[in-house]
Structure 1
């Protein structure tokens, strides 16, 4: 019978149209109960097999959303191009079209910006380095896209010029990628540099999302094949050489060039961090091959920073593990993670982090950036202590030590961050600034939770130390914003960040004043605004102590004005008054 041949879970056309449950009739099994009662013909629509979209198709569907807006940035009609051109075609052209030939920059200014980028990359993002001996002329011919991205991020002290350079860069990028179909290491490196210092990008690029840019990088690196061992066939090797992906030395044919391996690691780091910040699956998951590449760079290093990349991969992998345990696995549970389960998970992650620190060689024992990332991973792993704590409910004995450990990691991070010279902080990457925002907000939430239960002098002293660190950060951010030469009325990331810092500082000042009154009174203040939640001047994000219901777990958006909301880089002004 017809109905016996179809799945029992499928509804007939009549029930489906009315969104009713379709049950077979006992009198006529081939007809549903409702159709039998009303004398209606019962027909089951033909099932159309669905094809599961591949990961590549899903990724491409996401990227297609960017095409329209990118093409709008094209300076004019583009000449006809073949459906796929290799990256060498642009370099072989005699007519160089870049910011220098367009009159946006002078040669001397370009040389200054290139020198500044070299310093920025060596200190903060050693995954895209300029080859030794390659100057402006060489970059124009051999690395035109990377050259433009370098100019954009290095011109952060001249906002009007940065606007012009970024507009030129995005127009050229869209023409190469979407119109000409270019795929090259140069294109990938340029996009990765643009993503790493994403917070420097101006308001006109607000429609571009960091996660989508990371997905674009992941797609391109798969297209180029850098995520796996080089092909052994001669014709394949030749094709990849045309894309700027020459093999390593003849003694080690298992890996691509040093540049390609660094780029692979950079894509993994940036895509992982962007996906965690946006609570999305990573477009480029970890593989053992990328760690092998990092080990090969450490053993056969060209520059000193090559020795550090392995340990950056490992600490980012721990951060990914935290996200997987406390977000993905916990979301799949029938009940929220209990205190005992949380404690066991924290101990396991703590052991991973301790093993990572112990594996650092002696020459990296004082590497500031590695240790700040380690502090971040520690704070991230212990944030679970805030989960499930309601404002009126008591803090469980299990979660109190977890929160104190979390605060210890935050304090260590703040101490390292404030000890960095202002010159080094000027060229932090977007993620470095995001770390600072996250740890500050986390410290605020933990202070509220702990101090709601205890308000002794040690607690007050801890808040005072954090308040002092925040003063240093606020002063430096003010100085940095003054250096950007931003015209009045034009938004900037540092300007928005200042509003956040001022709001948090006002909250800390109010807490300290309340604590002083508490100690002077010699007892518990009944109307403690920290407990009651009536404290004015603080950011709205502090009005809840439970991270998950606020959707603020981990390296996630804290306020609507924050950078990694990624809906816009126009940076709306904070609601907190200065």
Structure 2
């Protein structure tokens, strides 16, 4: 190859370009390919003018930007000198121009720049949220003559003495009156009235509509954010009962608004929050786990360092109700942990994984329960109200114990070992723990049943749904075996559950809060709707039992080997033998499997 080949980059020759072939120079004006093929080799020189045209505007653009930077620097220097401030040197290579008058933008005076600088100090955009209520000055329910002064004072006192122990996250000032509360915090006042007024009160619907008017007008339409709105929403969610809606969309929305307002107020990062702010933050966490977790929605708040600091701070106050917050948060935090663990379990793990998980959670819960029981034992008995939070917390403990057996109800986890001894033990445990929770609620005094929180209603729902689910699962496992003790095992499971009587007694106890209400009005209340479904379950349950047990092979048939031509599963318990398994069936209510599953899911999913 010639040593005189130009070092300047050249395009491919015309022939190589047409053939889309690689063009390698051999001499100055001849490539290797053309030399090999004996073709004429013609080069087109790369035009240099094109590059020069590109470079020219690029330089002018840089110069223009540098000039604008110099102008802005000069303006800022002059402005900061007016305010007695100094501006650091921004660049040594681009000094500001001396011609300030010629570089000044006539459309941008010092006032405009000052406003821009003030705006730059705030990283947010848009207008500040309003600090006053759009409903301020409107007549209250007392001003309109719907409730008397005396009745509102009674309701506020009821909240302070009877409701705060069940939800100690909103505390009124000592000596607070309904008059001051109504004038200073009207939304909080309304929510307290709604929580204490009772399900059978004729003004319940009016008060609920008034609350939603505040929510839509102030929180949604005008983006108002303050501690009064958050505390009021926490109370309204904690004792939400009207209107009852399938899947509870309004309740979920209100709970999510609590979380949103809490973050908007910065309670999760405030370094020196007030006691009311600490209680509100912890109450929002408690509500988020209790409602969103129960309804199968993502839990938007976590038990983090700030939560831990607030719990410790609240526990050291002089208010007795603040000491009840710690056990509530401990139990709710453990439930959140349990939900996360259960969501991560895969079916491929088998019974060994479930057994290990169950044991680990049990050990964690034993530690939590010991701490909670220690707190409960420290409550003074002279207050006259110390027994109230004990019932609420004891219900939570029973609910956790019941949830520890929950994995036994998930069929997909037991495909390989459906009759595992671990599973049958957990199923019987689920029945027993659910019964204990139901007995706890059934034995509550009517005054306490009247003020149950929404989370307690959700716990009841789960217990009512867990028992028949566990019973039917066990009976399917028992009747699938050929064992001489099958009938005795079936009888033992059915007797252990005592389901129809248990649920009927629970419904009777809960319905004491609906005296004087029509059946239609009861259906608009969450607990009232649950009671009617409980009675339906009690009537359908025996039919479901009979559907399974009716295919159990007879003991005589199993022992008679001469009936070898008949499949043992075709020999069933006769109708005369049925009452020995489950009493009189004169009042059973037959339903299809799909209907039964739908009714049952409304309890296990609190929908």
* TM-score (norm: length of structure 2): 0.64
Q: Aligned residue for 1:293?
A: 310
Larger radius of gyration: 2
Aligned: 1:349 with 2:361: yes
1:342-383 alpha-carbon deviations (Å, 9 max, x no partner): 111111111111111111354515822222212211211211
Q: Aligned residue for 2:467?
A: 443
Match of 1:121 among 137, 148, 163: 163
1:183-226 alpha-carbon deviations (Å, 9 max, x no partner): 1111001111111112x223699985322222111111111111
CA distance in 1, matches of 2:363, 2:475: 28
Q: Tell me which moved more, 143-152 or 202-211.
A: 202-211
Q: Aligned residue for 1:261?
A: 278
Deviation at 1:388, TM superposition (A): 2.1
Instruction: Return closer, same or farther for 1:222/1:501 CA change in 2, 3 Å cut-off.
Output: same
Q: Judge conservation of contact 1:493–1:563 (CA < 8 Å) in 2.
A: no
Q: Judge conservation of contact 1:407–1:446 (CA < 8 Å) in 2.
A: yes
Q: SS at 1:316's partner residue?
A: helix
Match of 2:434 among 400, 405, 410: 410
Deviation at 1:409, TM superposition (A): 2.1
Instruction: Return closer, same or farther for 1:462/1:219 CA change in 2, 3 Å cut-off.
Output: same
Q: Judge conservation of contact 1:541–1:558 (CA < 8 Å) in 2.
A: no
Q: SS at 2:421's partner residue?
A: coil
Q: List gaps (5 residues or longer) in structure 2.
A: 1-19, 21-126, 378-386, 479-485, 559-568, 582-587
Instruction: Return closer, same or farther for 1:348/1:139 CA change in 2, 3 Å cut-off.
Output: same
Instruction: Return closer, same or farther for 1:442/1:217 CA change in 2, 3 Å cut-off.
Output: same
CA distance in 1, matches of 2:209, 2:443: 36
CA distance in 2, matches of 1:205, 1:114: 31
Aligned: 1:274 with 2:298: no
Q: Aligned residue for 1:215?
A: 256
Deviation at 1:487, TM superposition (A): 6.6
* TM-score (norm: length of structure 1): 0.67
Q: Judge conservation of contact 1:113–1:150 (CA < 8 Å) in 2.
A: yes
Q: Aligned residue for 2:147?
A: 105
Aligned: 1:325 with 2:337: no
Instruction: Return closer, same or farther for 1:188/1:489 CA change in 2, 3 Å cut-off.
Output: closer
Q: Aligned residue for 2:396?
A: 373
Q: How many residues align?
A: 438
Q: Judge conservation of contact 1:96–1:141 (CA < 8 Å) in 2.
A: no
Mapping of 1:16-415 within 5 angstroms?
83-86=128-131, 89-90=132-133, 95=137, 97-198=139-240, 200-202=241-243, 208-230=249-271, 254=272, 256-302=273-319, 304-327=320-343, 329-330=344-345, 333=346, 335-362=347-374, 364-365=376-377, 367-388=390-411, 394-415=418-439
What RMSD over aligned residues (CA atoms) do the two structures have, in Å? 3.8
CA distance in 2, matches of 1:257, 1:92: 26
CA distance in 2, matches of 1:102, 1:268: 36
Q: List gaps (5 residues or longer) in structure 1.
A: 1-26, 28-81, 231-253, 545-549, 551-556, 566-578
Q: Aligned residue for 1:480?
A: 513
CA distance in 2, matches of 1:188, 1:349: 33
Q: Judge conservation of contact 1:159–1:486 (CA < 8 Å) in 2.
A: no
Deviation at 1:92, TM superposition (A): 12
Q: Aligned residue for 1:6?
A: none
CA distance in 2, matches of 1:344, 1:295: 32
Instruction: Return closer, same or farther for 1:179/1:501 CA change in 2, 3 Å cut-off.
Output: closer
1:160-195 alpha-carbon deviations (Å, 9 max, x no partner): 411111112211232222344321111001111111
Instruction: Return closer, same or farther for 1:342/1:170 CA change in 2, 3 Å cut-off.
Output: same
Q: SS at 2:460's partner residue?
A: helix
The higher-RCO structure (CA 8 Å, 6+ apart) is 1
Instruction: Return closer, same or farther for 1:272/1:490 CA change in 2, 3 Å cut-off.
Output: closer
Deviation at 1:159, TM superposition (A): 4.6
